[in-house]
């Protein structure tokens, strides 16, 4: 897909002016936050589970080479095959080879962000193979030739009227007089249309929420059941997963599963949690005959051992974006690549380069809600700060900002001068506010005050007030 992260500011401006998008984004604010809070509140052990989830992933990342080897051994024992792919191109090539060997013409797909990351759909189409997205949200955006705007709710940027228009445009063989106003009717139509596609598919592709070293299994977590029909009906099941999806054992997965659905949708468990191990057994009467795992690195091994290693704990629940004021305002597409929101702001520069993704870590108010809701306790704001530092070091931000920051640093490192200047400026600003508590406009800062007010300062600086406090407490101690 085309990367538009470098034009984040323009993208954001467009998003803010898009009335359909702004209406749809209301569903993010109302649809996720309360449900998560309730589900988390109902489980007293949630904090302990967070700690344990974090410890499990940290342990895996520190021993990743060994877990990858152990995992592959078990996949082979169960009759499956692991395809190790360093890059997106390697992964596309491996998938194409499997499709070609099986003369595949139609490929059904369960929801997978990694296949978005490697640009699989466009690639397969170019090779004459039809990819069919089967998750309702993914199906809708495939009809629109769009990309997901959210990692668990891909069509969250749309309203039902838009979906209705798309279904009427594409499902031409259905009667034009049919009613499609309600979400139930839209879902029913997608269900019927997709039913036949599952049976036509030669290959089914799913992602994985976990890979289990103990058993060589892959796990997917879904609500619709499409990921299961995608993997049990065609003769070939391909799992596309990145290397950090490994956990040691099924018990470890059970721990993190308690965090995943609660953080994502506020469910205790998603409807379907499916553990798949190898192809069908000789006595089985259904299930795929082949089981392949595309194991993708694509830049992740280079994050290990750096200040971004902790990002590899991410379980893709989407809680960070569901609670992000920036995401609430601009939606996912403005971020310009596959992963939006706070997790995208950290991951995207790692995977496509800070030269292209450097704006994203700046798209944060540093309010810290993302870190406070992250089930894996990933310090997202801290990592965004690391990226800002790197962007500055490499001279990628605009000259005015760089000079401004340099001047500020020079000023802040001279406390005597700083205190003298603020001791004059603060009372002056207080006077200039004419008794109001905020400035609607400031000279030389019109660009800034156009979108927000500046609170008028108290009459004294923080340091002055601190000295007074200190003096009072010393007096008390003395008396």
Partner 1 sequence: MSGREAILAKVRASLAGGHDPARRAAVEERIGNAPKGVIPARGQLKAGAKTELFAAQAAKVSANVRRVASRDEVPLAVSEYLRAKNLPASVRIGADKRMSAMPWATQKALEVKHGPSDGHDLVGVSHAFGGIAETGTLVMTSGKDNPSTINFLPEHHIVVIDAKDVDGDMEAVLARVKRKFGKGEMPRTVNFITGPSRSGDIEQKIILGAHGPRALHIIIVGE
- Residue 381 Cβ vs partner 1, minimum distance, rounded to whole Å: 24
CB atoms within 10 A of CB 213: 24
- Residue 103 Cβ vs partner 1, minimum distance, rounded to whole Å: 22
Burial 361-395 (b: 16+ CB within 10 A, else e): bbbbeeeebbbebbbbbbbbbebbebbbeebeeee
Q: With respect to partner 1, which residue has the nearer C-beta, 115 or 270?
A: 270
Collapsing DSSP to helix, strand or coil, 236 comes out as: strand
- Whether the Cβ atoms of residue 287 and residue 280 lie closer than 8 Å to each other: yes
- Whether the Cβ atoms of residue 11 and residue 360 lie closer than 8 Å to each other: no
- Residue 212 Cβ vs partner 1, minimum distance, rounded to whole Å: 9
Q: With respect to partner 1, which residue has the nearer C-beta, 61 or 203?
A: 61
**Beta bridge partner(s), residue 109:** 133, 205
Output the CA–CA distances (angstroms, integers) from residue 93 to 115, 132, 257, in the order listed.
Answer: 13, 19, 32
- Residue 49 Cβ vs partner 1, minimum distance, rounded to whole Å: 5
Q: With respect to partner 1, which residue has the nearer C-beta, 6 or 31?
A: 31
- Residue 375 Cβ vs partner 1, minimum distance, rounded to whole Å: 13
Q: With respect to partner 1, which residue has the nearer C-beta, 76 or 412?
A: 76
- Residue 358 Cβ vs partner 1, minimum distance, rounded to whole Å: 22
Q: With respect to partner 1, which residue has the nearer C-beta, 260 or 360?
A: 260
Collapsing DSSP to helix, strand or coil, 291 comes out as: strand
Up-side HSE of residue 348: CA atoms within 13 Å toward CB? 28
CB atoms within 10 A of CB 211: 28
Q: With respect to partner 1, which residue has the nearer C-beta, 224 or 391?
A: 224
- Residue 155 Cβ vs partner 1, minimum distance, rounded to whole Å: 5
Element (H, E) at 196: helix 183-200
Q: With respect to partner 1, which residue has the nearer C-beta, 288 or 457?
A: 288
């Amino acid at each position: 897909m085309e990367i538009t992260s470098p034009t984040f500011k323009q993208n954001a401006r467009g998003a803010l002016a898009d009335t359909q998008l702004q209406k749809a984004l209301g569903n993010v604010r109302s649809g996720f936050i309360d449900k998560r809070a309730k589900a988390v509140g109902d489980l007293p052990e949630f904090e302990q589970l967070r700690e344990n989830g974090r410890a499990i992933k940290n342990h895996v990342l520190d021993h990743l080479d060994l877990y990858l080897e152990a995992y592959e051994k078990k996949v082979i024992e169960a009759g499956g095959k692991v395809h190790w792919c360093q890059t997106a191109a390697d992964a596309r090539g491996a998938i194409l080879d499997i499709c070609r060997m099986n003369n595949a013409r139609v490929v059904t797909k369960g929801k997978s962000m990694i296949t978005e990351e490697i640009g699989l759909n466009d690639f397969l189409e170019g090779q004459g193979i039809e990819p069919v997205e089967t998750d309702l949200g993914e199906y809708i955006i495939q009809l629109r030739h769009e990309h997901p705007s959210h990692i668990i709710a891909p069509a969250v940027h749309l309203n039902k009227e838009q979906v209705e228009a798309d279904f009427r445009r594409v499902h031409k063989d259905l009667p034009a007089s049919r009613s499609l106003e309600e979400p139930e009717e839209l879902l029913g139509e997608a269900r019927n249309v997709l039913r036949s596609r599952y049976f036509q598919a030669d290959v089914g592709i799913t992602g994985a929420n976990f890979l289990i070293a103990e058993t060589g299994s892959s796990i997917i977590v879904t609500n619709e059941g499409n990921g299961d029909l995608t993997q049990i009906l065609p003769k070939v099941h391909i799992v596309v997963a990145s290397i950090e999806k490994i956990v040691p054992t099924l018990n470890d997965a059970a721990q993190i599963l308690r965090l995943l659905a609660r953080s994502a949708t506020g469910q205790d468990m998603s409807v379907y949690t499916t553990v798949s191990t190898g192809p069908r057994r000789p006595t089985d009467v259904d299930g795929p005959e082949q089981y392949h795992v595309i194991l993708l690195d694509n830049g992740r091994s280079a994050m290990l051992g750096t200040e971004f290693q902790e990002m590899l704990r991410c379980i893709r629940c989407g809680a960070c974006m569901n609670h992000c004021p920036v995401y609430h305002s601009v939606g996912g597409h403005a971020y310009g690549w596959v992963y939006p929101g706070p997790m995208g702001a950290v991951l995207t520069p790692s995977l496509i380069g800070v030269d292209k993704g450097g704006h994203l870590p700046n798209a944060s108010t540093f309010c810290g809600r993302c870190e406070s809701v992250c089930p894996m306790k990933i310090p997202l704001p801290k990592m965004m700060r690391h990226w800002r530092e790197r962007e500055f070091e490499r001279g990628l931000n605009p000259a005015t900002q760089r000079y401004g920051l340099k001047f500020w640093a020079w000023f802040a490192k001279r406390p005597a001068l700083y205190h003298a200047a603020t001791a004059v400026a603060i009372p002056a600003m207080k006077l200039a506010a004419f008794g109001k508590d905020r400035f609607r406009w400031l000279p030389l800062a019109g660009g800034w005050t156009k979108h927000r007010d500046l609170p008028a300062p108290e009459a004294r600086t923080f340091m002055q007030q601190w000295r007074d406090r200190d003096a009072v407490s010393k007096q008390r101690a003395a008396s």
